């Protein structure tokens, strides 16, 4: 299933200009230019930034002079040919640049330098399952702009497309390895051909080094303090400035319930309501990001079993030397850092896992990433794995990231409140351990009037069409009902003048999950179709769509309908996309879509016209 969307490496004939560059690459001047490296990242939720930090540490260990900045902090005109530029760039929104990279790209688009032989390489981050039509769009656009605007620039490695839907840590590790090798050689392949882009190729175990993790971190200074270690820190002051632009705020929980109170297991749909500070507003279809924290018991377990003896949780962490390298906020206690800043539930990266287990032949996916084994698991399950130093843990584990939720309320009806719908995640891993989702468990335990740290995230591509004559088709599965609930509430609020041109296709695992009966009742005035099924979510919805193939075809092809697909990325989103593609050409009533290829193009055009909207979660 996963592999269906993987792009294949495309090998193109080497243009004259590129072969000139490869010859140029082997000269002394380019080897010299590799002495200095500039890492530039564009990151919306921190992954590219984390990779940038890891890369910087690895390069510094290799003795390179290396700087790291967000792309927005650097004007393209300042790029020089005496330094290797490494870009790590994610894609956000619908094929868009992260906010801390956009100005760089705009600057690049309006500049031109025919002569500068700037060496560069790009690692793009994206998700092929959730965004097949805009997979790594920002990384691809960046490469395109470089090739057009700086025709003499030298791409030292082909564009690497890192895919969240596969194992992006592994892919990044492989790319980093190639970068280190390229720098060491001072030249790249002199093949006759070079791929323009490449995706994951399984790494053979024999070429995986075990001792790759850099351990010469800048020194951590630990200061004794009178402060009790469990004092709640000023969260709004401690997160990196990177997040500040997202207007994070403390929001008060006003309501938090399992909407199916008679459920035996507490894994039904839950609704949480958060009161908005008066200076914040949102639009229906926007997202909210929530900053979770690690449960106290887990922090205690890391202190007792994972960290070397002698770590005092009340000491304050200060990074005195080489300021700017420490990935967390300075000046808060060890305990607070472990609670709020490091993701203790995340599997260690491939290189850290190999280093911990001293194993060259670690099948990362099978042994670490799929069972989601954590550093705690590795230490507890394996007597060979030694306790780790505080510095190892703080530098090697990923920073705790906010989690995104679709807002489930209409802004016009609840201007001062945000609703979100979530399902607590509890499951048994493939190795038999009980696992709890970090953020959903955190949400589940929040009781009114507790506050959470959250931020509103604009999602401008996810809006109802302004013209009420345009038909709207909502297709949702499970928790995906959240944004659809917001839109229905908005339409009910707009009143009865709307024609009956809205179609609703919803699928739930369980009858108890259909918690919005009343809203669906109130929507009957504008619902042209209403199909709600229970059991296997995807297949029910696809069957309902197939039964209505003719009207669907008409709405999409002749009436300019907008489609909103909301649910799981891996199975639901892919199944709906395939069903609609098939229905479009197989039930080709108008004769305009003769085959599968034309149907795929039609869907792509819908997407670029802003008529095909997806809100899919991994
Ligand atoms: C709101 C949102 C929109 C996204 N849009 C895209 C997209 O259009 N194309 C894509 O390939 N990936 C998309 N992604 C996936 C991210 O690029 C991917 O998760 C990446 O690892 C995030 O890196 P970052 O944390 O550095 O921003 C999106 C993710 C989010 C949360």
The model's pLDDT over 18-68, given as tens digits with 9 standing for 90+, comes to 333 433 344 444 455 577 899 999 987 778 888 898 898 888 878 888 999
Of 130, 242, 615, best ligand 1 pocket probe by most atoms within 8 Å of the beta carbon = 130
The model's pLDDT over 522-559, given as tens digits with 9 standing for 90+, comes to 999 999 999 998 876 567 788 889 998 888 999 999 99
- Please report which helix (H) or strand (E) contains residue 66, including its range: strand 65-70
The model's pLDDT over 559-602, given as tens digits with 9 standing for 90+, comes to 999 999 998 766 788 889 999 999 998 876 667 888 889 999 99
CA of 92 to the centre of ligand 1 (A): 4
Token readout for 470 is: 């345009």
The CATH code of domain 472-616 reads 3.40.50.80
- Taking 80 as the threshold, does the pLDDT of residue 229 lie above it? no
Q: Tell the residue number behind the tokens 């203790």, with chain if given.
A: 344
CATH for 232-283+402-459 (1.10.760.10, 2.30.30.20, 2.40.30.10, 3.20.20.70): 2.40.30.10
Query: How far, in Å, CA of 21 to CA of 355, rounded?
Result: 37
448 and 253 Cβ atoms separated by less than 8 Å: yes
Query: How far, in Å, CA of 177 to CA of 536, rounded?
Result: 43
User: Looking only at Cα atoms, what is the longest distance across the chain?
Assistant: 77
In short, whether 91's Cβ falls inside 6 Å of ligand 1 is: yes
- Taking 70 as the threshold, does the pLDDT of residue 323 lie above it? no
- Taking 90 as the threshold, does the pLDDT of residue 141 lie above it? yes
**Same CATH topology for 36-185 and 472-616?**
yes
Using only C-alpha atoms, what is the Rg of the chain?
Answer: 26
- Taking 80 as the threshold, does the pLDDT of residue 515 lie above it? no
36-185: CATH superfamily: Flavodoxin domain (3.40.50.360)
Higher pLDDT, 3 or 71: 71
pLDDT on residue 226: 64
CA 444 to chain CA centroid, nearest Å: 23
Closest-lying ligand 1 atom to the alpha carbon of residue 618: 19
Query: How far, in Å, CA of 471 to CA of 554, rounded?
Result: 10
In short, whether 44's Cβ falls inside 6 Å of ligand 1 is: yes
Q: Work out the average pLDDT over 501-523.
A: 86
The CATH code of domain 293-396 reads 1.20.990.10
- CA dist 70 → 53, 104, 242, 399 (Å): 11, 9, 9, 17
Token readout for 243 is: 């997040």
333 and 299 Cβ atoms separated by less than 8 Å: no
Query: How far, in Å, CA of 66 to CA of 52, rounded?
Result: 11
In short, whether 164's Cβ falls inside 6 Å of ligand 1 is: yes
ipTM: 0.99
349 and 54 Cβ atoms separated by less than 8 Å: yes
* Highest mean pLDDT, choosing among 185-189, 212-216, 399-403: 399-403
Q: 496-515 b/e with 16+ CB inside 10 Å = b?
A: eeeeebbbbbbbbbeebbbb
Query: How far, in Å, CA of 186 to CA of 32, rounded?
Result: 8
Query: Hey, whose CA ends up nearest to atom 30 of ligand 1?
Result: 92
**Averaged confidence pLDDT in the chain:** 81
CA of 98 to the centre of ligand 1 (A): 9
Residue spans per domain, the chain: 36-185, 232-283+402-459, 293-396, 472-616
pLDDT on residue 476: 92
pLDDT category, 6, cuts 50, 70, 90? very low
Query: How far, in Å, CA of 428 to CA of 431, rounded?
Result: 8
- Please report which helix (H) or strand (E) contains residue 46, including its range: none
549 and 581 Cβ atoms separated by less than 8 Å: no
pLDDT on residue 329: 79
pLDDT on residue 195: 39
The CA dihedral of 30, 35, 36, 42, to the nearest 10 degrees, is 80
CA 50 to chain CA centroid, nearest Å: 12
Closest-lying ligand 1 atom to the alpha carbon of residue 48: 26
Beta strands in 466-570 (DSSP E): 472-477, 502-508, 527-534, 562-568
Q: Work out the average pLDDT over 381-405.
A: 88
Closest-lying ligand 1 atom to the alpha carbon of residue 44: 27
pLDDT category, 5, cuts 50, 70, 90? very low
CA of 406 to the centre of ligand 1 (A): 15
Query: How far, in Å, CA of 109 to CA of 141, rounded?
Result: 10
pLDDT on residue 485: 96
Closest-lying ligand 1 atom to the alpha carbon of residue 404: 31
């Amino acid at each position: 299933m996963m592999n269906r969307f993987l792009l294949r490496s495309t090998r193109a004939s080497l243009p004259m200009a590129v072969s000139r560059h490869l010859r140029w690459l082997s000269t002394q001047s380019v080897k010299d230019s590799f002495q200095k490296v500039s890492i530039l990242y564009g990151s919306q939720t921190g992954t590219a930034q984390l990779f940038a930090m890891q890369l910087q540490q690895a390069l510094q260990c290799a003795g390179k002079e290396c700087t790291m900045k967000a792309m927005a902090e650097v004007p393209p005109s300042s790029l020089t040919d005496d330094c290797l530029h490494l870009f790590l760039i994610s894609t956000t929104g619908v094929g868009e640049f992260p906010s801390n990279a956009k100005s760089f790209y705009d600057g690049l688009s309006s500049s031109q330098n025919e002569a500068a032989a700037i060496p560069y390489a790009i690692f793009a981050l994206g998700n092929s399952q959730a965004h097949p039509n805009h997979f790594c769009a920002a990384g691809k656009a960046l490469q395109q702009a470089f090739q057009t605007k700086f025709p003499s620039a030298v791409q030292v490695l082909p564009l690497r497309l890192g895919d969240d839907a596969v194992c992006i840590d592994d892919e990044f590790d492989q790319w980093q390895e190639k970068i280190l090798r390229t720098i060491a050689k001072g030249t790249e392949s002199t093949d006759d051909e070079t791929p323009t882009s490449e995706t994951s190729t399984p790494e053979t175990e024999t070429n995986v080094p075990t001792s790759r993790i850099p351990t010469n971190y800048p020194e951590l200074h630990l200061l004794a303090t009178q402060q009790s270690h469990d004092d709640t820190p000023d969260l709004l002051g401690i997160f990196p400035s990177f997040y500040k632009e997202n207007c994070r705020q403390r929001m008060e929980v006003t309501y938090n319930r399992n909407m199916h109170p008679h459920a035996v297991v507490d894994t039904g749909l839950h609704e949480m309501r958060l009161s908005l500070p008066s200076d914040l507003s949102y639009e229906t279809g926007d997202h909210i990001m929530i900053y979770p924290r690690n449960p106290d018991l887990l922090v205690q377990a890391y202190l007792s079993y994972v960290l070397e003896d002698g770590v005092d949780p009340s000491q304050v962490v200060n990074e005195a030397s080489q300021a700017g390298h420490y990935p967390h906020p300075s000046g808060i206690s060890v305990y607070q850092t472990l609670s709020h800043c490091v993701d203790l539930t995340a599997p260690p990266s491939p290189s850290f896992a190999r280093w911990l287990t001293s194993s060259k032949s670690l099948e990362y996916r099978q042994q670490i990433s799929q069972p989601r084994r954590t550093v705690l698991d590795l230490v507890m399950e394996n007597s060979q794995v030694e306790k780790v130093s505080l510095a190892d843990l703080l530098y090697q584990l990923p920073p705790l990231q906010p989690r995104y939720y679709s807002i489930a309320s209409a802004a016009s009806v609840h201007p001062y409140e945000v609703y979100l719908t979530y399902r607590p995640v509890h499951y048994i891993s493939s190795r038999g351990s009980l696992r709890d989702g970090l953020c959903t468990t955190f949400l589940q335990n929040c009781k009114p009037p507790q506050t959470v740290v959250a931020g509103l995230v604009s999602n401008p591509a996810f809006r109802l069409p302004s013209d009420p004559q345009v038909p709207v088709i909502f297709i949702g599965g499970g928790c995906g009902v959240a944004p659809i609930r917001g839109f229905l509430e908005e339409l009910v609020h707009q009143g009865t003048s709307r024609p009956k041109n809205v179609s609703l296709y919803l699928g739930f695992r369980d009858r108890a999950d259909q918690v919005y009966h009343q809203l669906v009742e109130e929507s009957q005035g504008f619902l042209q179709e209403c199909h709600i099924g229970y059991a296997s979510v995807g297949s029910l919805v696809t069957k309902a769509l197939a039964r209505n193939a003719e009207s669907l075809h008409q709405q999409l092809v002749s009436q300019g309908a907008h489609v909103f697909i909301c649910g799981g990325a891996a199975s639901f989103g892919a199944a709906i996309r395939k069903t609609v593609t098939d229905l479009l050409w197989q039930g080709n009533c108008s004769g305009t879509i003769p085959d599968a290829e034309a149907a795929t193009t039609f869907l792509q055009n819908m997407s670029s016209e802003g008529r095909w909207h997806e809100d899919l979660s991994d």
